[in-house]
Structure 1
Amino acid sequence: MDSTGSELPTSAWKSEEDLIDALRRQDDDAYEYLVRAYSGRMLVVAKRFLGQDQDAQDAVQDAFLSAFKAIADFEGNSKLSTWLHRIVVNACLMKLRTRKRKPEKPVEDLLPHFVNDGHRDRVEPAWAVTFDTAVQSRETRDLVRDQIEQLPETYRTVLLLRDIEQLSTDETASRLNMSVSAVKTRLHRARQALKTLLDPHMNDGY
């Protein structure tokens, strides 16, 4: 579920390199085009992390300001969309660090429980489809996104970085200032909790 999106239309500049050169020259038309061409997909990313509020808009604005300041140092080793994606994710993480955190539902409420003999206290429902097949449906993708939003923020963020934004474990740990082992543990618990949330919707009657 990569979110970098499609590339630069050829109608504005002959190539992405031409656009980057114009940005480095501080060309106002290039700045305006960059915002028009990429703000939509960047806002989608921001809303995943921050929700449907003003914080998402602010994160996109912060990301563009950071990109304009850093464009002279952009070496072109990745596509412009990939570079902007990294920047907006960083802006979202910064917002999450600075805003007042709402009380979270304990993730333990969403994790499997075990009885004394080591077995789970309930039989997990069988899904009518596999997860990979399910996410090919737009309706089911929307359901998955809705249930991800129900996860506690600290677990949702790790799951978004690893499974949705497709960062590596090492990069996720670096972005969150966590150890690799802590990221792996939190991701495992986030996936378990997400499955619990999805189970009622994905059984044989789905």
Structure 2
Amino acid sequence: MSSTTSDAPYDPDAVVAGDRAAFEALVRHETPRLFRIIKRYVSDDESARGLTQETFLQAYKGLDDFRGDSKLTTWIFGIGINLARSHVRKRRREQPMDEDTMDRLQPQFRMGHYVDSFDPWHPEQSTERNERKQLVRDALDELSDTYREVIILRDLEERSTKETAELLDISRGAVRVRLHRARQALRSLLTQYFSDDTA
């Protein structure tokens, strides 16, 4: 069975076997997607380029470790996400949001009803507004990596729950729970800016 999509301009089996030309074709094809994901984590282009290169270098050196449990690209992107996580942890100056704060940002219920009025908020719509992208990014930066990365992969990169689970090495149920909590926290952080929206 193929390790990646059938329309890719490279042979995944040849990549796994160590074929240099096939790996170079993979790098050319997958660099834009990998760069975009890593840049969601680290923000600046220079760091994202360096981490993208390091990802492919580590992947090439570690091809013997690829077990074929997931798509080849999922395995490689997982390496990139781990490198981006480490980079962010080293550079982050302030402590990200803890679980107690996350709990306080969740909706409050009484007798099975929301205590406050609740209007659904869709982060993907907000990020499309150029003048508000920085507000969303600042709010994302307040979340811990545990919650921030599910928003990045599911809402911004539009990955499936299955692929997100594979990339983060967690269950699909954990993806759904984290995504729900992260969305609620972001809604609470951003309501003051978006509460008057009619879109």
TM over 0.5: yes
**SS of aligned partner of 1:150:** helix
- Alignment of 1:150 onto 2:138: yes
**SS of aligned partner of 1:126:** coil
| Aligned counterpart in structure 1 of residue 82 of structure 2, from 86, 90, 102 | 90
Q: Kindly tell me: are residues 192 and 164 of structure 1, through their superposed partners in 2, closer, same or farther at Cα, counting changes over 3 Å?
A: same
**Superimposed CA distance per residue, residues 146-178 of structure 1 (whole angstroms, 9 cap, x where no aligned partner):** 55421264625222333443338x946xxxxxx
- Alignment of 1:48 onto 2:36: no
Partner of residue 205, structure 1: 198
**Superimposed CA distance per residue, residues 159-201 of structure 1 (whole angstroms, 9 cap, x where no aligned partner):** 2333443338x946xxxxxxx9xxx7x8776433300244343
**Runs of 5+ in structure 1 lacking a partner?**
1-5, 173-179
Read off the aligned partner of 1:195 and give its amino acid letter: R
TM-score normalised according to structure 2 size: 0.63
Q: Whose relative contact order is higher, 1 or 2, with alpha carbons under 8 Å and at least 6 apart?
A: 1
CA RMSD of aligned residues (A): 4.0
**Superimposed CA distance per residue, residues 108-140 of structure 1 (whole angstroms, 9 cap, x where no aligned partner):** 6x94799xxxx96xx44634xx64xx74xxx54
For the 8 Å contact 2:35–2:49, the answer to whether it is kept is: yes
**Superimposed CA distance per residue, residues 5-37 of structure 1 (whole angstroms, 9 cap, x where no aligned partner):** x83635x44x4223333xx14x2x223212111
Read off the aligned partner of 1:20 and give its amino acid letter: V
- Identity of counterpart residues, as a percentage? 24
**Runs of 5+ in structure 2 lacking a partner?**
109-113, 154-163
Offset of residue 79 of structure 1: 1.1
- Alignment of 1:78 onto 2:73: no
Q: Which runs of 4+ in 1 moved over 6 A?
A: 104-107, 186-189
**SS of aligned partner of 1:102:** coil
Offset of residue 141 of structure 1: 4.9
For the 8 Å contact 2:141–2:148, the answer to whether it is kept is: no
Query: What aligned pairs does 1:28-47 form with structure 2 within 5 A after superposition?
Result: 29-47=21-39
Q: Kindly tell me: are residues 125 and 146 of structure 1, through their superposed partners in 2, closer, same or farther at Cα, counting changes over 3 Å?
A: farther
How many pairs align? 170
**SS of aligned partner of 1:151:** helix
TM-score normalised according to structure 1 size: 0.61
Read off the aligned partner of 2:148 and give its amino acid letter: L
Query: What aligned pairs does 1:114-129 form with structure 2 within 5 A after superposition?
Result: 123-124=116-117, 126-127=119-120
Read off the aligned partner of 2:92 and give its amino acid letter: R
For the 8 Å contact 1:159–1:190, the answer to whether it is kept is: yes
Please say which structure displays the higher CA radius of gyration.
1
Q: Distance in 2 between matches of 1:204 and 1:68?
A: 48
Offset of residue 104 of structure 1: 6.5
Partner of residue 18, structure 1: 14
Offset of residue 70 of structure 1: 0.6
For the 8 Å contact 1:106–1:152, the answer to whether it is kept is: no
